[in-house]
A and B are shown apart, each in its own frame.
Chain A
Amino acid sequence: MFIRLMQVISLFLTASILMALGIGAYASSSDEVITIVDSAGREVIVPYPVKSVVVLWSNPAKEMRALGAVDRIVGMDQSTKDEVDKGTLPELANVPVVGTQEEPNYEKIAELKPDVVICLSAGYPPEPDEVQKKLEPFGIKVVGLDFYRTEVWFDEIRTLGRMLGKEAEAEEYMSFFRSYYDLINRTLATIPDTDRKTVYFEGAKKYLTYGGAGYGSGIPNMIRAAGGKDLYPERSELAFEVDPEDVARRNPDVIFKGTTLGWNADSEEQFKAIRDEIMSRPELANTKAVKNGDVYVISFDVTGGAGKKFGPVFLAKVLYPDRFKDLDPIEFYREYLNRFQGLEYRGIYLYPNP
């Protein structure tokens, strides 16, 4: 009798466990989730595919457009709005603003009920964990992806593609960049170290340059990726003002001057004025760069922030024009804009043309 009772109970238990499992399996097939690892090293469980996103800065918006998912953006920060106003993200004209990157308006984000918020992974507070804490009660997931650090860019695109269910598009996008990087690396391998050119890269401010020893701003890394030697590889400061005499003493082969002109530039006049100013600095008159006229003005659109992924192509062409006869950075950038951003090419990014 007792055994009989136990059998009934165990049968009942087994049946209910099986039912529960069945329900569980059913639930997971309709609400599929995946675990991704963001650039802050956080494991985040997100719905698959992610259908709605709030971006807390403009890089993810542009990368989402490259993967054909710009329409999933339901909210954006002010810096992304600035890009919309500049005309680089027309698709987002009617998307609401949810505050700034520094001060996101959590209420507004909660109201939009996105699956995921994409913010910067580190160093630009509030950090992903902090944003996550604020949005936890609303069931919104926070993912930290940067898209401006060249060393993790490919990983981030893969993660973004995975989470949006746009894996194939992400592969295509990455292979576009890889084809150019491979070409550059193959050619650079044939240039001996002694023939590599030294580069002085000046920021928007006079004699502001970038240190190459720390993580820095990535500009020294970009110069190296283009086969150049940055002028201050021993300095770990992100950006610092340098003694003009020292620049002259180190005698760079090529000088680049960064400018915020670019997409919004329509005449070469301003670029020429910037270049003339450097060419006329008496302390630099005897450097190889000025004597040979190797002074270039380059837009931060293709060398700063998310634009650093374009930099090596532009710089390689300038540094070694004979070796990169078939490499056309303008064509490369035009194809990027047309094919991955759906934009017509416009603006000026480099002056003079190598």
Chain B
Amino acid sequence: MHRPDRITSTSLKITGKADSRGARQAYSEFVARKILFLIVSLAIMLFLAVLSASLGGTTESWSEVFRAILSRYFSSIESDPFVESIIWHLRLPRIFMGIVAGAGLGVAGAVMQGVTRNPLVSPFTVGISSAAAFGASMAIMFGVGYAGIGTYIIILSAFISALGCGFLVFFISRLKRSSPETMVLAGIALTYFFGSLTAILQFFANEQQLNAMVNWTFGTLSGADWHKLTVVTVAFLLSMPVFIRLSWDLNIMFSGGDEAAKSLGINVARVRNVSLLLSSFITAAIVCFTGIIGFVGLVAPHVARMVLGSDHRFLLPASCVVGSILVIGADIVGRAILAPIIIPIGIVISFIGVPMFLYLVMTRDTGWD
């Protein structure tokens, strides 16, 4: 009676060991693949950034562009002051703004999709874009004019309104213990609410105000400068570590649902609230400067998830990089296609993003089943 028992247990032990070795190997391959994807997409992003830096109205060569960039750091490198101004004053802020805006919207989208377990959610689902547009319209209608300090008031008003909308969704969903459904439904309701508030303002606006309101909603990187870039970057750098810290919790909430996460000791409501508020914060910080660049926040996490799966430790950085690629890629197309006319990125991004997105949806596992 003893023997078979021992044999079974030994064989169990052996298989267990073999499995764990195989699993470890499989796991490191799995991780390596993800890291490889991150490296490759970072390389693509870098390539696009360089391409964008050397693409423009003036026809300088790549070497001139590099000399202009480096001349600020090394006094020994000579460069044409005109090219230098073009690069440092106009192109670089634009490119960096594209990178940070894409990354911020991408990660905000990934987090929002994770906590709501809903593939239709994006940072804009909680009503932020329409709230930002409403804030900007308010400032345009009742502000101190469009010029000088007025522009900053418009930015601030858009930011406050967008963030306020995030808080509103937060409080509404807290009434029902922060369930994903209330969050999404409250967001959609608020989108319509702010939309109609903006429509009222537009109805009573005069010709210039109306134009300024509509113009604000076109997402563009043309307004970027170093000051604005600093603000957006700081917002991004403040939120990112928190998101990364939450990624294990997000993994469990995403794959197991609220009940499983709760049984593992995760404060589900807290994770969801922090995610919602921080995503709102970073989205508000971006859209108040760029206007509405929709779609990135929806599609970048999907693209990353289709390739990498739903491990948020990788999904979050990958959504950042994919978001950046989308935004600067779209900006390049918008600047090149009808040059010297610049097509606002908010328009271009859907044109290039939608076919790419549909292709991925048709040919790949979406990572949601």
Task: Indicate whether A122 sits within 8 Å of B146 (C-beta atoms), given known contacts A107-B90, A130-B151, A137-B85.
Answer: yes
Residue of B206, B212, B216, B340 near A99 (CB, 8 A) is B340
Residue of B90, B208, B218 near A124 (CB, 8 A) is B208
Complex Cα–Cα for A124 and B214 (A): 10
Complex Cα–Cα for A133 and B203 (A): 32
| Contact indicator B207/A133 (Cβ below 8 Å) | no
Q: Is B57 engaged at the interface, CB distance under 8 Å to the other chain?
A: yes
Interface residues of B in 44-73 (CB under 8 A from A): 56-58
| Contact indicator A107/B86 (Cβ below 8 Å) | yes
| Contact indicator B90/A106 (Cβ below 8 Å) | yes
Contacts of B335 in A (CB 8 A): 105
Please tell me which stretch of B220-228, B259-267, B300-308, B352-360 contacts chain A, meaning at least 4 of its Cβ atoms lie within 8 angstroms of it: B220-228
Complex Cα–Cα for A306 and B212 (A): 19
Residue of B145, B212, B216, B343 near A103 (CB, 8 A) is B343
| Contact indicator B151/A129 (Cβ below 8 Å) | yes
Please tell me which stretch of A198-206, A211-219, A249-257, A321-329 contacts chain B, meaning at least 4 of its Cβ atoms lie within 8 angstroms of it: A211-219
| Contact indicator A98/B85 (Cβ below 8 Å) | no
CB distance from A216 to the nearest CB of B (A): 7
Indicate with 1 or 0, residue by residue over A216-244, a CB within 8 angstroms of chain B CB atoms.
Answer: 11000000000000000000111010000
Contacts of A236 in B (CB 8 A): 204
Task: Indicate whether A133 sits within 8 Å of B222 (C-beta atoms), given known contacts A105-B57, A107-B90.
Answer: no
Q: Is B148 engaged at the interface, CB distance under 8 Å to the other chain?
A: yes
Interface residues of A in 101-156 (CB under 8 A from B): 102-108, 110-111, 122-130, 133-134, 137-138
Q: Is B9 engaged at the interface, CB distance under 8 Å to the other chain?
A: no
Contacts of A130 in B (CB 8 A): 147, 151, 223
CB distance from B243 to the nearest CB of A (A): 33
Q: Is B82 engaged at the interface, CB distance under 8 Å to the other chain?
A: yes
| Contact indicator A216/B146 (Cβ below 8 Å) | no
| Contact indicator B342/A105 (Cβ below 8 Å) | yes
Indicate with 1 or 0, residue by residue over B320-354, a CB within 8 angstroms of chain A CB atoms.
Answer: 00000000000000010001111110000000000
Complex Cα–Cα for A40 and B147 (A): 8
| Contact indicator A238/B148 (Cβ below 8 Å) | no
Residue of A78, A123, A126, A134 near B341 (CB, 8 A) is A78
| Contact indicator A122/B208 (Cβ below 8 Å) | yes
| Contact indicator A107/B341 (Cβ below 8 Å) | no
Contacts of B150 in A (CB 8 A): 127
Residue of A124, A127, A138, A238 near B205 (CB, 8 A) is A238
Task: Indicate whether A122 sits within 8 Å of B340 (C-beta atoms), given known contacts A137-B85, A238-B207.
Answer: no
Interface residues of B in 81-105 (CB under 8 A from A): 82, 85-86, 89-91
CB distance from A119 to the nearest CB of B (A): 11
Complex Cα–Cα for A214 and B210 (A): 13
Complex Cα–Cα for A280 and B98 (A): 55
Q: Is B233 engaged at the interface, CB distance under 8 Å to the other chain?
A: no
Chain B minimum-CB-distance residue to A96: B340
Residue of A42, A110, A124, A238 near B82 (CB, 8 A) is A110
Task: Indicate whether A107 sits within 8 Å of B82 (C-beta atoms), given known contacts A97-B340, A97-B341, A125-B212.
Answer: no
Contacts of B223 in A (CB 8 A): 126, 130
Chain A minimum-CB-distance residue to B145: A122
| Contact indicator A102/B147 (Cβ below 8 Å) | no
Complex Cα–Cα for A106 and B203 (A): 33
Q: Is B211 engaged at the interface, CB distance under 8 Å to the other chain?
A: yes
Complex Cα–Cα for A110 and B85 (A): 9
Chain B minimum-CB-distance residue to A112: B57
| Contact indicator B225/A133 (Cβ below 8 Å) | yes
CB distance from B134 to the nearest CB of A (A): 17
CB distance from B147 to the nearest CB of A (A): 5
CB distance from A145 to the nearest CB of B (A): 14
Interface residues of A in 324-354 (CB under 8 A from B): none
Contacts of A125 in B (CB 8 A): 146, 211-212, 215-216
Q: Is B209 engaged at the interface, CB distance under 8 Å to the other chain?
A: yes
Chain A minimum-CB-distance residue to B150: A127
Contacts of B206 in A (CB 8 A): 123, 214-216, 238
CB distance from B112 to the nearest CB of A (A): 30
Contacts of B85 in A (CB 8 A): 110, 137-138
Complex Cα–Cα for A127 and B147 (A): 6
| Contact indicator B151/A124 (Cβ below 8 Å) | no
| Contact indicator B147/A123 (Cβ below 8 Å) | no
Contacts of A133 in B (CB 8 A): 225
Complex Cα–Cα for A37 and B163 (A): 39
Contacts of B146 in A (CB 8 A): 122-123, 125, 127
CB distance from A98 to the nearest CB of B (A): 6
Contacts of A126 in B (CB 8 A): 222-223
Contacts of B343 in A (CB 8 A): 103
Complex Cα–Cα for A199 and B93 (A): 52
Contacts of A238 in B (CB 8 A): 205-207, 210
Complex Cα–Cα for A104 and B86 (A): 14
Contacts of A40 in B (CB 8 A): 147
Chain B minimum-CB-distance residue to A42: B147
Residue of B82, B148, B340 near A138 (CB, 8 A) is B82
| Contact indicator B341/A105 (Cβ below 8 Å) | yes
CB distance from A307 to the nearest CB of B (A): 15
| Contact indicator B340/A123 (Cβ below 8 Å) | no
Complex Cα–Cα for A277 and B101 (A): 51
| Contact indicator B220/A128 (Cβ below 8 Å) | no
Complex Cα–Cα for A318 and B211 (A): 32
CB distance from A103 to the nearest CB of B (A): 4
Complex Cα–Cα for A174 and B203 (A): 36
Complex Cα–Cα for A97 and B339 (A): 9
| Contact indicator B222/A217 (Cβ below 8 Å) | no
| Contact indicator B89/A137 (Cβ below 8 Å) | yes
Instruction: Please give 12 more A-B residue pairs, beta carbons under 8 A apart, in addition to A97-B341, A123-B206.
Output: A98-B57, A98-B340, A107-B58, A122-B145, A125-B211, A127-B147, A127-B150, A130-B223, A138-B82, A237-B203, A237-B204, A238-B210
Which residues in A have some Cβ–Cβ distance to B below 8 Å? 40, 42, 78, 96-100, 102-108, 110-111, 122-130, 133-134, 137-138, 214-217, 236-238, 240
